[in-house]
Amino acid sequence: MPKKETKVQQLEKELLNKPKNVGEIDNNILNEAQKFCEGYKEFLRNKTERAVVDYTIPILKAHKYTEFQMGKKYKAGDKFYYNNRGKALIMVTVGKRPVSDGLRLGVSHIDSPRLDFKPNPLFEDIDMAFFKTHYYGGIKKYQWTTVPMSLHGVIRLTDGKTVKVRIGEEEGDPLFCITDLLPHLARNQMKKPANEIVEGEQLNVLIGSWPYGDEKVSGKVKLNILNMLHEKYGITEKDFLSAELCATPAYEPRDYGLDRSMIGAYGQDDSVCAYASFMAELDTKKPDFTTVTVFTDKEETGSDGNTGMRSLFLKDFLEDFVSAYGLSARHVLMRSVCMSCDVNAAVDPAFAENYERNNASYLNYGPVVSKYTGGGGKYSTNDASAETMGYIRSILEEAKIPWQVGELGKIDNGGGGTIASEISVHNLDTVDVGVPVLSMHAPLEITAKADVYLLYKAVLAFYNCTRPKD
Ligand code: MN
Ligand code: MN
């Protein structure tokens, strides 16, 4: 017989907000999460925004999504997508309510921090050939040396053909990395501040060391590499000028931990939210409100550019979609709600002093809802209203999905933004929802499977909610 609760215990239960590890709420969640995360690991093998879009479109087609047609009046249950330059994607499921009642949007980004090649990347030094990079996104540069890397991207030739590059991901492929100085000679290096231990111009990917077998030419190692690239891809050095190439960590997404409760992989910021919202989008059949799932690019460099969230591509697409009903996008958007799906920082006991414990997110405590992001003094943040927080909260609680709040670290410790402010600029209610991550922006990021799965459930509940916003 369980002991009867005392009056004070009852009072505690009623009055206090005590977040719990979801494993204590329902220990079976991990089993469901395991299954869900098998698909997530597959998704994570796509390490650039282009790879994600290429991977996603055939799946959309298999789920009866068709390419968006301007002027078409879609009906409830119709599914379609819009591909922005192979780097950003919009997926829609039309709801039963008129579009004028507003949309339910889930927006995530599919670019991740990495090392982009410079336009003129190939050079030879001390009989070795390298690719010169300019890092993309906010990284601790010293973390990226001696990490197994792979090469990705596209090269556009002058005849209009595009060559796709993906080397270092398959078994039997060669390995690449950024080299580092041996500790024996690092006395001076180790005295430098961490942001100077490895400098931007030292992030060069070693790619070859064997000379071309000819006495008469100089730069024989570089020439040998170019010759190989020419044979494989038909390219010359000038073709790098019209290319987007990068190096990313090469290792496979894997189960993490003896209990396999986590995922260790590159690019979980923000593929974790992209995958969870993608699955929710696929599983939403005939919702009340029309759902719009967006994969955007360029978040890690500030969302500028025509495939980033500061571009008008989403607004313009919505204009084209809703004008078929005689509506204008702004009137639809002002009645819409958006989950801006991005990761937050999970408390790490090794660095616990950087978090304010009552307002930080924890692994295995469920999806994290961040009222605001930004930096000290709440600069540059969307800051969701009480009403929007209340709306999301009511959906999550009704669906019995455990969730937590999260602030990105202590007030004056730094900070960081998400695309929520790029979305709310269009006058719709937006809130950040995501998954807590350990070692964010490192070559190996860690998430908890239960959180990944529960984010999917959260977005699914949001997409299928019948409750109008007040
Ligand atoms: Mn992110
Ligand atoms: Mn990020």
3-state secondary structure the chain: CCCCCCHHHHHHHHHCCCCCCHHHHCCCHHHHHHHHHHHHHHHHCCCCHHHHHHHHHHHHHHCCCEECCCCCCCCCCCEEEEEECCCEEEEEECCCCCHHHCEEEEEEECCCCEEEEEEEEEEEECCEEEEEEEEECCCCHHHHCCCCEEEEEEEECCCCCEEEEEECCCCCCCCEEECCCCHHHCCCHHHCCHHHHCCHHHCEEEEECCCCCCCCCCCHHHHHHHHHHHHHHCCCHHHHHHEEEEEEECCCCEEECCCCCEEEECCHHHHHHHHHHHHHHHHCCCCCCEEEEEEEECHHHCCCCCCECCCCHHHHHHHHHHHHHCCCHHHHHCCCEEEEECCEEECCHHHHHHCCHHHCECCCCCCEEECCCEECCCECCCCCCHHHHHHHHHHHHHCCCCCEECCCCCCCCCEECCCHHHHHCCCCEEEEEECEEECCCCCCEEEEHHHHHHHHHHHHHHHCCCCCCC
CA 341 to ligand 2 center in whole angstroms: 11
Checking if the pLDDT of 2 tops 80, the result is no
Determine how β-strand 149-156 pairs with β-strand 243-249. antiparallel
CA 230 to ligand 1 center in whole angstroms: 36
CA 219 to ligand 2 center in whole angstroms: 38
Q: What is the pLDDT of residue 438?
A: 98
Query: What number is the average pLDDT over the span 231-257?
Result: 97
Q: What is the pLDDT of residue 469?
A: 87
Checking if the pLDDT of 1 tops 90, the result is no
CA 300 to ligand 2 center in whole angstroms: 5
CB atoms within 10 A of CB 200: 13
CA 26 to ligand 2 center in whole angstroms: 30
Name residue 116's beta-bridge partners.
Answer: 134, 246
* CA 129/CA 401 separation, integer angstroms: 53
User: Which ligand minimizes its atom distance to the CA of 419?
Assistant: 1
What phi and psi, each to the nearest 5 degrees, are found at residue 313? -60, -35
* CA 467/CA 470 separation, integer angstroms: 9
**For the segment 23-78, what is each residue's pLDDT rounded down to a tens digit?**
999 999 999 999 999 999 999 999 999 999 999 999 999 999 999 999 999 999 99
User: Which ligand minimizes its atom distance to the CA of 274?
Assistant: 1
User: Which ligand minimizes its atom distance to the CA of 113?
Assistant: 2
Query: What number is the average pLDDT over the span 451-470?
Result: 96
CA dihedral in degrees (353, 358, 364, 370; nearest 10)? -100
Query: What number is the average pLDDT over the span 412-433?
Result: 92
CA 39 to ligand 2 center in whole angstroms: 22
Give how far Cα 247 sits from Cα of 121, 198, 390, Å: 12, 17, 42
- Cis ω on the peptide bond leading into residue 78 (within 30° of 0)? no
User: Which ligand minimizes its atom distance to the CA of 107?
Assistant: 1
The confidence band for 215, taking pLDDT boundaries of 50, 70 and 90, is confident
**For the segment 260-299, what is each residue's pLDDT rounded down to a tens digit?**
999 999 999 999 999 999 999 999 999 999 999 999 999 9
Q: What is the pLDDT of residue 216?
A: 87
Query: What is the percentage of the chain residues whose pLDDT exceeds 90?
Result: 92
Lookup: tokens for 154 = 């596209």
Q: Which residues contact 455 (CB under 8 A, 6 or more apart)?
A: 272, 273, 276, 277, 341, 367, 433, 434, 435
Q: Which residues contact 152 (CB under 8 A, 6 or more apart)?
A: 47, 48, 50, 51, 165, 166, 245, 246, 247, 248
Around ion ligand 1, residues with a beta carbon closer than 5 Å are 269-270, 342
CA 320 to ligand 1 center in whole angstroms: 28
**For the segment 396-422, what is each residue's pLDDT rounded down to a tens digit?**
999 999 999 998 889 888 888 889 999
CB atoms within 10 A of CB 183: 9
Give how far Cα 243 sits from Cα of 116, 162, 163, Å: 10, 9, 9
CA 208 to ligand 2 center in whole angstroms: 31
CA 409 to ligand 2 center in whole angstroms: 14
- Which domains are assigned to the chain? 9-112+267-463 (3.40.630.10), 114-249 (2.30.250.10)
- Spell out a b/e string for 387-418, using b for 16 or more CB atoms within 10 Å of the CB, else e: ebeebbeebbeeeebbbbbbbbbbeeeebbbb
For tokens 């005392």, name the residue. Answer: 6
* CA 409/CA 359 separation, integer angstroms: 8
